[in-house]
């Protein structure tokens, strides 16, 4: 199964509208160094320990660093939750390339 691709600018608009959840699947150390404000950390290595179904039927957007982890694990991510599922193209690197803010330690 694949996730629907979505660009960073659209993700930002959806986050502002409040009907979207952005899930960062990178590892905790990566997230601690920099992350998209408002994103929820669910490391891919700990996916089985999280109940993403509690997010309900909202739009759920996954991202990693550049898109490879998200794309290669799309089936696993889709099986872990409900709702309309998306992959942010380019990951956090695409977000930064679009000139959008990240929180850095």
Q: Which residue from 55, 44, 47 is spatially nearest to 20, judged by alpha carbons?
A: 55
Query: Are the C-beta atoms of 60 and 23 separated by less than 8 Å?
Result: yes
Q: Is 64 a catalytic residue?
A: yes
In three-state secondary structure terms, 37 is coil
Write down the catalytic residue from 55, 64, 77, 85. 64
What is d(CA 94, CA 13) in angstroms, rounded to the nearest whole number? 15
Q: Which residues are catalytic?
A: 64
């Amino acid at each position: 199964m694949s996730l629907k691709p979505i660009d960073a600018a659209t993700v930002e608009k959806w986050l502002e509208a409040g009907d979207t959840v952005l899930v960062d699947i990178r590892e905790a150390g990566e997230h601690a160094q920099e992350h998209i404000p408002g994103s929820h950390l669910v490391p891919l290595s700990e996916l089985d320990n999280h109940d993403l179904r509690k997010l309900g039927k909202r739009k759920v957007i996954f991202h990693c660093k550049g898109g490879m982890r998200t794309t290669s694990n799309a089936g696993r991510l889709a099986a872990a939750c409900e709702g309309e599922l998306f992959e942010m193209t380019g990951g956090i690197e695409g977000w930064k390339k679009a000139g959008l803010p990240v929180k850095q330690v």
